[in-house]
């Protein structure tokens, strides 16, 4: 076992509500696991468990792994610590008790792609948030909320955004339910408490009525302000529960022996005390696409070689970038680096709306139904893809395109019904051609191969939309050996001689995947948005940002920067915290890559 610090020992010894704060790697997670085991050992009655709640599934996997590695936690204690995400815990409560707040008895989850489709029209009407004034933004939010409520209460389709509010209503309204929850989970640990939203805080408050609460937080790692995390949240907790407050401070166990945390902390104030920091390296690259990506690929290959040389199999290297767009670009480059560099195998934690909806199109085509409305169904799914792939910010072109496709299909069907040939220039032609090509694909009963065969038919076909779908669907990793979707598709083939239920199986697999907590933490090379890195740890981290595009000497655009446009103006505290979180995810080394002629403003001394 690790030798706990005196502060960690206080946490272990203290009873009642607690607030534990500390910087990255200060040992909050570790001590809370030992605390949970102690409670399991000393206080729980049969059937009771300690609940550990976290925001992200990847954190859940990390916690489960840490529990497994903790030699001082017995297997009985282990089985009495339940680690879950807020989403999944809330969903369990809603499924069983949701009717108490007026939800239909049968409810289902409206997944993010489904929600994006349902809200696309409203979102399009208002345009992107950044172009709205406060009143318009409030109006847009209110309309989105009303539609989400309608979907939940009238149709029983509940989207993730509503979970916390509904559970809060449930618990606030029922002392009996609060008591029942406290019987099942007398102690609840909240990870990353600084990021609790207003509705989640209502849930925490209601639970604290009967349960013992332990909140773990690092105020400086607060990066979810844009979705309602409140800087005063820790004070709310102190005021509501008078918890014992332990500050683990800036102890650093993650990257001991390096200056990674020191550098991370100094990023917050822009006062740099050293010329060189052990564990931190900088790579300044020229501001052009070829040289920037060549520099990145070189850094990735070098880091990978260092990690492979350790002989460990579970090494991890994260490439953290500021925007979604950059994540896609980097992922594309690694998949197909220039020159004779072979593909760099990696996982990209990109937004899944596009890939999921793309996967639905492929699944539908795998069914090879040969039904009379095949074409209609395919066009419908393409339209769903177009409406949903932009997530919370649907593209104007995409929505217009969906409307155009639908009306072209209506005309196509009208002409056929009237005994006429469809117009020669109809946009439906290439879709119909690809559909007919997919029908010729001979399925072999291996879901992986068959999936790829259909995807290749789309990728090689004449329809640009389906080509985009094929490309997006490459990001789907649900068909890996031994996973549920693959097994279910295999079973479907065995039982029916074809993939008759591929679409349903695919949809279900994504919902299950969202709640699955058993997956291991990410290993290998991972490309990730900086915002998503919170709570994670990797052996090495590369932070890679965009560069300015110049015409002559003048900067015309400066996309994908850690600080918007790389300008030192306005409140930069969120950007600083975000940068610090990214830098401090590494155990042994962080490489910061920034353009030579326009170095990240946060790296300049104050």
Residue 422 annotated as binding? no
Nearest CB to ligand ATP, comparing residues 25 and 243: 25
Mutual orientation of helices 484-496 and 447-460 as an angle, nearest 10°?
90
Burial class (CB in 10 A: 0-12, 13-18, 19+), 447: buried
Nearest CB to ligand ATP, comparing residues 51 and 431: 51
Residue 26 annotated as binding? yes
Q: Reduce the secondary structure of 174-191 to three states and give it as a string.
A: CHHHHHHHHHHCCEEEEC
Q: DSSP 3-state helix, strand, coil percentages of the chain (rounded to 5)?
A: 55, 15, 35
Nearest CB to ligand ATP, comparing residues 25 and 98: 25
Burial class (CB in 10 A: 0-12, 13-18, 19+), 100: middle
Nearest CB to ligand ATP, comparing residues 158 and 317: 317
Compute the C-alpha angle 341/343/347, nearest 5°: 140
Instruction: For residues 595 and 75, give the distance between their C-alpha atoms in angstroms, rounded to a whole number.
Output: 50
Q: Tell me the C-alpha to C-alpha distance, in Å, between residue 159 and each of 108, 366, 381, 499.
A: 9, 28, 20, 29
Nearest CB to ligand ATP, comparing residues 252 and 566: 252
Burial class (CB in 10 A: 0-12, 13-18, 19+), 115: buried
Give 603's Cβ-side CA count (13 Å radius).
22
Nearest CB to ligand ATP, comparing residues 390 and 535: 535
Ramachandran category for residue 323: left, alpha or beta (phi over 0 → left; psi -120 to 50 → alpha): beta
Residue 28 annotated as binding? yes
* Min dist. Cβ of residue 302 to ligand ATP (A): 24
Nearest CB to ligand ATP, comparing residues 38 and 253: 253
Q: Tell me the C-alpha to C-alpha distance, in Å, between residue 502 and each of 450, 469, 476, 498, 588.
A: 11, 17, 15, 9, 44
Give 516's Cβ-side CA count (13 Å radius).
14
Residue 24 annotated as binding? yes
DSSP state of 259: S
DSSP state of 342: P
**Number of alpha helices (DSSP H) and beta strands (DSSP E) in the chain:** 23, 16
* Min dist. Cβ of residue 144 to ligand ATP (A): 32
Nearest CB to ligand ATP, comparing residues 231 and 445: 231
Mutual orientation of helices 374-388 and 396-417 as an angle, nearest 10°?
170
Residue 326 annotated as binding? no
* Min dist. Cβ of residue 36 to ligand ATP (A): 13
- Given a contact cutoff of 8 angstroms between Cβ atoms, the answer to whether 393 and 123 are in contact is yes
* Min dist. Cβ of residue 589 to ligand ATP (A): 16
Residues that bind ligand ATP (CB under 6 A): 2-5, 8, 22, 24-30, 218, 253-254, 535
Nearest CB to ligand ATP, comparing residues 31 and 485: 31
* Min dist. Cβ of residue 3 to ligand ATP (A): 6
Residue 22 annotated as binding? yes
- Given a contact cutoff of 8 angstroms between Cβ atoms, the answer to whether 77 and 52 are in contact is no
* Min dist. Cβ of residue 218 to ligand ATP (A): 5
* Min dist. Cβ of residue 2 to ligand ATP (A): 4
* Min dist. Cβ of residue 561 to ligand ATP (A): 24
Residue 23 annotated as binding? yes
Residue 16 annotated as binding? no
* Min dist. Cβ of residue 300 to ligand ATP (A): 23
Strands (DSSP E) along 148-225, which ranges? 157-159, 187-190, 212-217
Could you tell me which residues come within 8 angstroms of residue 150 by beta carbon, excluding any fewer than 6 positions away? none
- Given a contact cutoff of 8 angstroms between Cβ atoms, the answer to whether 106 and 156 are in contact is yes
* Min dist. Cβ of residue 545 to ligand ATP (A): 22
* Min dist. Cβ of residue 379 to ligand ATP (A): 46
Q: Reduce the secondary structure of 42-69 to three states and give it as a string.
A: HCCCCCCCEEEEECCHHHHHHHHHHHHH
Q: Which amino acids are annotated as binding site for ATP, given as ranges?
A: 22-29
């Amino acid at each position: 076992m690790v030798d706990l610090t005196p502060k960690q020992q206080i946490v272990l010894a203290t009873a009642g509500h607690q607030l534990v704060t500390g910087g990255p790697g200060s040992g909050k997670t570790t001590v809370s696991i030992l605390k949970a085991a102690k409670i399991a050992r000393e206080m729980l009655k049969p059937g009771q468990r300690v609940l550990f709640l976290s925001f992200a599934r990847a954190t859940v996997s990390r916690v489960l792994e840490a529990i497994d590695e903790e030699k001082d936690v017995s297997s009985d204690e282990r089985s009495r610590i339940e680690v879950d995400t807020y989403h999944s815990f809330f969903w369990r409560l809603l499924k069983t008790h949701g009717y108490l707040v007026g939800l239909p008895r049968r409810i289902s989850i409206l997944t993010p792609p489904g929600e994006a489709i349902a809200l696309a029209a409203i979102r399009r009407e208002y345009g992107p948030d950044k172009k709205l004034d406060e009143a318009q933004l409030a109006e847009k939010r209110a309309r989105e909320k009303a539609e989400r409520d309608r979907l939940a209460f009238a149709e029983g389709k509940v989207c993730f955004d509503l979970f916390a509010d509904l559970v809060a209503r449930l618990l606030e309204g029922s002392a009996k339910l609060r008591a029942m929850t406290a019987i099942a989970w007398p102690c609840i640990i909240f990870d990353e408490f600084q990021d609790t939203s207003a509705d989640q805080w209502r849930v925490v408050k209601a639970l604290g009525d009967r349960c013992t609460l332990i909140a773990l937080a690092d105020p400086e790692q607060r990066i979810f302000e844009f979705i309602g995390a409140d800087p005063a949240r820790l004070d709310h907790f102190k005021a509501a529960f008078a918890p014992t407050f332990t500050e683990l401070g800036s102890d650093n166990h993650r990257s001991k022996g390096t200056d990674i945390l020191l550098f991370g902390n100094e990023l917050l104030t822009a006062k740099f005390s050293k010329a060189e920091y052990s564990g931190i390296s900088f790579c300044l690259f020229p501001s052009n696409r070829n040289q920037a990506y060549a520099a990145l690929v070189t850094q990735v290959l070098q880091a990978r070689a260092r990690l492979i040389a350790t002989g460990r199999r579970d090494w991890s290297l994260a490439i953290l970038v500021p925007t979604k767009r950059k994540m896609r670009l980097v992922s594309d480059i690694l998949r197909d680096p220039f020159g004779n560099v072979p593909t760099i195998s990696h996982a990209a934690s990109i937004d899944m709306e596009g890939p999921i909806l793309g996967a639905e199109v492929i699944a539908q085509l795998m069914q090879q139904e040969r039904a009379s409305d095949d074409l209609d169904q395919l066009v419908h799914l393409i339209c769903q893809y177009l409406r949903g792939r932009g997530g919370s910010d649907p593209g104007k072109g995409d929505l217009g395109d969906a409307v155009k496709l639908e009306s072209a299909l209506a005309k196509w069907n009208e002409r056929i019904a009237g005994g006429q040939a469809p117009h020669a220039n109809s946009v439906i032609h290439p879709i119909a051609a690809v559909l007919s090509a997919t029908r010729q694909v001979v399925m072999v009963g291996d879901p992986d191969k068959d999936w790829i065969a259909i995807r290749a038919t789309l990728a090689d076909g004449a329809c640009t939309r389906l080509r985009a779908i094929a490309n997006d669907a490459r990001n789907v990793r649900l068909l890996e050996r031994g996973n549920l979707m693959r097994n279910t598709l295999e079973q479907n083939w065995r039982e029916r001689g074809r993939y008759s239920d591929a679409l349903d199986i695919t949809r279900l697999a994504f919902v299950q995947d969202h709640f699955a907590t058993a997956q291991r933490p990410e290993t290998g090379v991972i490309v990730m948005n900086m915002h998503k890195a919170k709570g994670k740890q990797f052996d090495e981290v590369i932070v890679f940002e965009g560069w300015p595009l110049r015409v002559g000497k003048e900067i015309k655009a400066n996309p994908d920067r850690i600080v918007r446009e790389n300008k030192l103006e306005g409140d930069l505290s969120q950007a600083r915290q975000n940068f610090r979180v990214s830098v401090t995810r590494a155990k042994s080394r962080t490489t910061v890559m920034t353009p030579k002629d326009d170095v990240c403003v946060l790296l300049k001394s104050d």
